[in-house]
Structures are given as structure tokens and as C-alpha cells.
Amino acid sequence: MRLRYALTHDPRLAMWQGVRGALCGLAMWSESMQLAAGIDLHRAATQRVVMNQDRPADALVELFRQTAGPLPFRALVDAVAALWNIEENPADRSLAALAGQHDGVTETLRARELMRAVWEEIALLPARQRAALLLNLRDGQGRNALMLFALTNVATFSDIAEALGLVPEALAEVWNDLPFDDLRVAEWFGITRQQVINLRKSARERLGRRLKMRERT
């Protein structure tokens, strides 16, 4: 998700549709179908690429300078994930916890169905409850779990921004800092840390009740 956003929002980069899927590279290569040939992305990646995990656009520009040609987006994602030591997590792990880990939910709903159900219920939460929950949402390794909604095509980046009351550009500015701890969320709203905890607790309880109702129906 971070790579896709960088490719489509940084003027130095571009992403376009090829014959067999999405391609990406420097903006000057836009629409080219001539892929970089015989490139070992791990060898092409310099230390600047590895170290620029918090600045994905800069990392991509450096990587494309080494490849000297466009790449399939899927190959880029796989290579960068390996370089940055990012592993995929089962989507239902975080969401089962979010829903209160009620008995049988992961057995009766597929991960994507659960994701969609959770997102629909999140959208119905009061604005502050919703934001307190999403700004702190973590995956099984404590990282930003919001990308799970986008990766499963349940919600777009713009949908997530809207749920937080932000424009996409504002969300992009803080994306690499997510998830926020309670103190930062409190500063965001101008309220106390305990109020943030209470808002998130209320949001989780409501989601748990609503998902149980969905499961019974």
C-alpha cells in the first residue's frame, strides 16, 4: 500500500497497466512496456534503498536508478518486502482480536468477509470512537493494521482517510507513524489519555456486539 501510494503520488514515479499486470518505474518511463531485463533486485538494491524504509518514494527512485527500466509491480512488492523484512500476516489475526475474539468467528467467516463486516461496523461508530480505534489499530506484530483493509480490497486509502476525517494527503503524512500510542491520539483530539482509552474500549465493545449479531444472522 505504501509503495502504491508513492508510485501514484510522487511526481518522480509512475504506475501504469501492462499486458500482464501493473508496471512501475520512474515517471519518464511511463507507459513503457520494455521491462528491465535480467535484473537481480537484491543486488540492485543499495544501502540507501534498505535504509529508506520510512521514505518509500526515495527508496523507489534509488532502486529504479539501479534497474534502469520499469518493473512489474508484484515483483517490486516482493523484493522490497524482503529487503525491509516485512512478512505477511493472516488478516483474521488482528481482526479477531478487534472483534473481541468471540468464539467461532474465525471458523465461520472467511478473513475477507470478516474484514468487510468489521469495516462496515467501524463506519457506523461515532467519529471519535472510530478515530481512536483506527489510529491505534495494530497487527499481530504491533504494526499499522489499517493496510489490511486496503490489501484485501475492503477499503481504499481514501476510504480510510475519510473514516479518520482526513484528506488522503493528510493521512499519507502520518501513515509511517501509525499506529499512534494513546498520548499521541489524546494530543490529536485535545483530550486526556484516559478519555482515549474509554473511546477505544467503547468502540471495541460495540464491534464485538455487532459482529456477534451478524454471526447469529
Residue 135: exposed, middle, or buried by beta-carbon count in 10 A (0-12, 13-18, 19+)?
buried
pLDDT tens for residues 133-157? 999 988 766 778 888 787 777 888 8
Do 69 and 35 contact (CB within 8 A), yes or no?
Answer: yes
Whether 100 and 167 share a structural domain:
yes
Whether 77 and 95 share a structural domain:
no
Whether 41 and 140 share a structural domain:
no
Mean pLDDT calculated for residue range 93-104: 46
Determine the Cα–Cα distance for residues 162 and 177; give it in Å rounded to an integer: 18
Q: Give the C-alpha distances (Å, rounded to integers) separating 143 from 91, 163, 202.
A: 13, 19, 22
Task: With CA atoms as reference, report the closest residue to 178 among 144, 150, 146, 130.
Answer: 144
Mean pLDDT calculated for residue range 117-146: 87
- 10 Å Cβ neighbour count for 49? 24
Look at residues 83, 105, 127 and tell me which one is the last residue of a structural domain.
83
Whether 64 and 96 share a structural domain:
no
Q: Which domain holds residue 164?
A: 91-216
Q: Is the pLDDT of residue 196 over 50?
A: yes
- At 147 the three-state DSSP class reads helix
Q: Give the C-alpha distances (Å, rounded to integers) separating 180 from 132, 133, 171, 185.
A: 9, 10, 13, 6
Task: With CA atoms as reference, report the closest residue to 182 among 195, 164, 165.
Answer: 195
- 10 Å Cβ neighbour count for 34? 9
Mean pLDDT calculated for residue range 42-47: 62
Look at the chain and report how many structural domains it folds into: 2
- Residue 185 pLDDT: 92
Query: What does the radius of gyration of the chain's CA atoms come to, in whole angstroms?
Result: 19
